[in-house]
Amino acid sequence: MRKALIVWGGWEGHQPKQVAELFCMTLEQEGFEVEVSDTLDAFADREKLLGLDLIIPNWTMGEIAKPLADNVSAAVQAGVGLAGCHGGMCDAFRTNVDWQFMTGGNWVAHPGNNGVSYRVHIVPGSSSIVDGIDDFDVVSEQYYMHVDPAVEVLATTRFPVAPGPHSLNKPIDMPVVWTKRWGVGRVFYNSLGHQANIIEMPVVTELMRRGFLWAAEGKRLVAEQSANGGAVGAAGAYTGMGDSQV
């Protein structure tokens, strides 16, 4: 049975407990054995993390000890999937740039705050994760992010919508959904999900479900490739997070 770990906490305004419960329900419906924790100490056992298929951080504006972040990085580099949404993953630990490097981006602003009406544009043909999903509208925070240029962009939103000091810049398409690799692990992120009601939108629920499955599938593919004699090592693996090279 595939195993997943959801770790929630941090700023209560993002309803981390409620969102974690929704994610748990989605994964259990897909046959995962799910552990849900409200402490970052859940990242303390590196060997346990290496035995998972998927890690879902759902923790906003916190601080993480370097050894704990190193453990997550080591697990993902070895093939464990990493997936999450909104501030729970890419505004989790603002002072940890290594975490931001691993996840693919970090939050910097949401002009207009909550309640902005905007469109999410699917990038056609970008991934099976978005196959058959049409552009859709959402009323929520519109995340402006600093994004790793290495990510594969699956959906975008156009800025500016809400007024602000950014408004006189040229219009830009900001990534909303993306994937990337960290070592041989798969990383999935969706900037939607300010509160549980956004996660409950059918299209967002489906995006998260597909993203979870895609990220977790990487562990099996790595194992199969290794069993067949393929090269699965993370050549040139990033070692900025301590002794996490695998």
Query: 167 lies in a domain?
Result: no
- As a whole number of angstroms, the distance between CA 99 and CA 70 comes to 9
Query: 147 lies in a domain?
Result: no
Query: 74 lies in a domain?
Result: yes
Q: For 188, list phi and psi in degrees, rounded to 5.
A: -125, 135
- As a whole number of angstroms, the distance between CA 177 and CA 151 comes to 10
Query: 151 lies in a domain?
Result: no
Number of domains in the chain: 1
Q: What integer pLDDT is reported at residue 246 of this predicted model?
A: 25
H or E, element range at 23? helix 16-29
Taking CA atoms, 246 is separated from 11, 50, 217, 239, in Å, by 33, 11, 19, 9
Domain of 185: which CATH number?
Answer: 3.40.50.880
Those residues whose C-beta lies under 8 Å from the C-beta of residue 11, and which sit 6 or more positions away, are 60, 61, 87
Q: What integer pLDDT is reported at residue 229 of this predicted model?
A: 80
Query: 7 lies in a domain?
Result: yes
The range of the structural domain enclosing residue 23 comes to 3-108+177-227
- As a whole number of angstroms, the distance between CA 184 and CA 74 comes to 10
Q: What integer pLDDT is reported at residue 232 of this predicted model?
A: 58
Q: Which two tokens stand for residue 157?
A: 């939103």
H or E, element range at 131? none
69-83 pLDDT, tens per residue?
999 999 999 999 999
Query: 208 lies in a domain?
Result: yes
For residue 3, count other CB atoms closer than 10 A to its CB: 18
Query: Is 140 within 8 Å of 198 (Cβ atoms)?
Result: yes
- As a whole number of angstroms, the distance between CA 65 and CA 83 comes to 20
Spans in the chain with pLDDT lower than 70: 231-246
Query: 246 lies in a domain?
Result: no
135-165 pLDDT, tens per residue?
999 999 999 999 999 999 999 999 999 999 9
Query: 45 lies in a domain?
Result: yes
Which amino acid belongs to residue 138? Answer: V
